[in-house]
Each structure stands twice: as C-alpha cells, then as structure tokens.
A and B are shown apart, each in its own frame.
Chain A
Amino acid sequence: MATLTKKDIGGFLARQGILLAFALFMIGFTLANGRFLDPDNVMGVIRSSAILGVMALGVTFVVISGNLDLSVGSMMSFSTIVVLDLHDKLGPALAIPAMFAMTLALGAFIGFLVGYLRLNSLIVTLGMLSAIHGLTLTWSGGKNMDIADKAGTWFDVFGRGEVLGIPVPILMFLLLAVTLGTALAKTPFGRKIYAVGGNGTAATFSGIPRARVVFSCYLVSAFCVATAGLLQASRSMGSQNTVGQGLELEVLAAVILGGASLMGGSGTIFKTVIGVLILGFIQNGLLLVGLPFYVQYVVTWVIIILAVWLDIAAKRGRLWSPIA
C-alpha cells in the first residue's frame, strides 16, 4: 500500500503551490456567491479568458527564452483591425491567412532585432508597442472597424460558435495549449528554449543556434497573437483600435503568476494556463461579489501578491524568508 509521506506532500506543494492558491480563491469566491461555480458562469469566464490565454501561451515561450514581449497588446489590436477590414474587402477565407501572414511578419521582425541584432527585447518590444499602434491607426484611419453584413458571414464561428456545447474559443485555447505545451516539454525545440533562457553561454557551447531559437519564440508569440486577434474580431464582429491596449501587462502577469521566471529558463504552459484562469476568475468573482470598483483594483493586486507568495513559499518550504 502506498502511503503519502510528509515529504511527498511537501514535494507536491513545492511543485504545485500555484494550484493550491487557485483552489483557495475558488473556494473563497464560491462561499461569497453561490453562483460563482454555475457551469454557465465558469464556461463564460474561460471563454472570456481564452483571448488573454492564447496570447499568454506565446509570451511563455518568449519569457522562457529569457526575453520579453510587450508588443502583444498592440499587435493584437493590429490583427483584429486588419482581419475585420480585410473581411469586407476579400472575404473571410482570404482575410484570415492574410492577417496571419502580416502578424507573423511583425513577429519575425521583432525576432530578427532581438535574435540576430541582439538588441534588448524590452526596448525593442516597448518601441514596437507604439509603432504597431501607429500602424493600426494608419490602416484604419482611426475609425472603428465593423463587419458590414454581420448576418451573412460564417466569420463569427471562431468567437461565438460551439462544438458539442463547448465554445470554440475555449477549444482553440485548449488545442493551442496542448500543442504548445507538448512542443515545449517533449521536443528538442522545447529543450533548446529552456537551455537558451537558462544559460545562454552553455547553450552556445552545446551547439544550439541561440539566435534561431529566440527568433522562433517570437514567431510562436506572433502566431498566438494572430489567433487571439481572430477570436477577438469574431467575438465582437467589430472593434476599436485600442482593443488590445494594456493587455501586454495582463498577459505578463498571467505568465509570471504561473511561475515563469523573468530571468528565463523556467516556466510551463500548464502553469501559465492556471495563471490565466486565476486572473479571469478574480475579475469575474469580484464582479459577482459586487465590491465597489475602486476597491476592486486594490483587491486584485492583493490576490495576485498572495498567489505569488503562496507559490514561492511552497517552493521554499517556508512562509518567512527575508533577503539574507
């Protein structure tokens, strides 16, 4: 008979502290409002989180490789506006691949600057945040973009459709999470990313082409952003130019909440998904509890800090640990 020793439990906690934190919040919100765990509500929250989530998957790759991507919010606005505009000009079947190609080109450009010119990713993507916003505004002329004939197109299937009762955004989020999670954990490509982010010099001496790995991570990120833009455009069938504004920080928060290190070399797709869900359920839970919204900003921060603390404390095996 297998018995759980104290060590086993400790080991589990150390690996999955963030899961424990997640479970605690879910219990707390459920006690505060019984409807929190309604299947409709849970489904709704995951569907709303799917857009942020898809972006966070890509940024996880970039962060593990030891870099940052602050451009994902404005890049998502770009993808959304472009696909909506092209929808009416070319039809959805051409608009979608065209938008993906353009977004991937932006990702390739960033990957080139960071990977091959070895520029600081913070500066490059902070600059791109502004530049891509400008590109979006130039494209749209500052006007909101709306699909003219909303009833006569199948384009809404990505954002509003359902398969076997499960919303398509959730399915796409899951599919991407499983695919990218497997790529990261089980393939040589994934191991190279950890190596590059963990110890670049050692990676070079092991014959890993660092520039190409970093470049690929930005391509993955751009692909995820394009998918998020598609979901966003299809969900609302129209958009403001600023739809993704500020999302870069929420995405980064989800990734860090999931335990990825900003120094690179650590993090998993599974934990990023948990980070995304924590953010989504906090927002929804606070709305259901009905706190005044000025208070919500503060409470959101408190919960995030608590989650990070629980995660770190579980890893260290103690709550109190001053800088020595």
Chain B
Amino acid sequence: MPDIQTQKKQKEYEKYVKQVTPSHSLPLNMARAFLVGGLICMLGQWIMNLCLNYGLGRQMSGSWTSGILILISVVLTGFNIYPKLAKFAGAGSLVPITGFANSVAASAIEYQKEGQVMGIGCKIFTIAGPVILFGIFSSWVLGVAYWLLKIL
C-alpha cells in the first residue's frame, strides 16, 4: 500500500487528469442511444406484429422476433457494419438483444483462428459470459423471492 502522502498525490493527479481529458458529450450520446435503441425496438415490434398477423401465438412470435433480430445483428457484425452503428449509438445498440448477439458473433469471428474448441468453444462468451451468468443468477434470486412470497 502506498503511504498517505503518495495516495494524496495520486488523488490530485487523478483529479487533474480528469480535468484535461476530453469526454463524449453525455446529452448527445443519450440522444443517439435513444434514437437507435428506439429504432431497434421499433423494428422488433414490427416483426412481432407481423408474426402475430400471420397467426403465430404470442410466445412463438416473441421467439421469432428475437431470432430475427439476432440474425440481423450477426450478419451486420460479419460485414463489419454493427461496430460502426455501435460507435454512433453507444448503449442504444448495446442494450438490446442485438448488442448481445454482436458480442458473441464478434468473439466467434476473432477467436476462430485459435481453433474450434480452444478458440470458439472457450472464448465465444468472453464478453457475453458475465451477462449470461449474472442474468441467470439474478433470475434465480427473483424466482426464490417470488416463491417465498407465495408461501407467505
């Protein structure tokens, strides 16, 4: 552990660095994320409505919607278009299911050179892995909570 004097100096330097480092404009980024994220969701809704019109059930339509969005994202990742979209949209393209698909597809493409098992197999979820783990874990916690509430 650095002593107090050094820690203080480090804090000061950190503060100074923050001051001289330019950062993206937050309102602008939020506007872009809202726009692109909204458009992706609109696309999803449109697919959903289409499926419903074809007489698919609600659940089936939802699955088709996710599947089609994932397919679009993976194809766009392969053609190197999704990263360009994400550069513009930030969280707008990261949060929807398309962002998740992008992180998996990008890893698969990058690590394919390291082999089917040790490359794709081991590393395909390097970015998405935590989302899956904690996603499942938190839904389990919610499940337990729901179950307890029901017992009471």
Q: Do A and B come from one complex?
A: no
Chain A residues at the B interface, C-beta cutoff of 8 Å: none
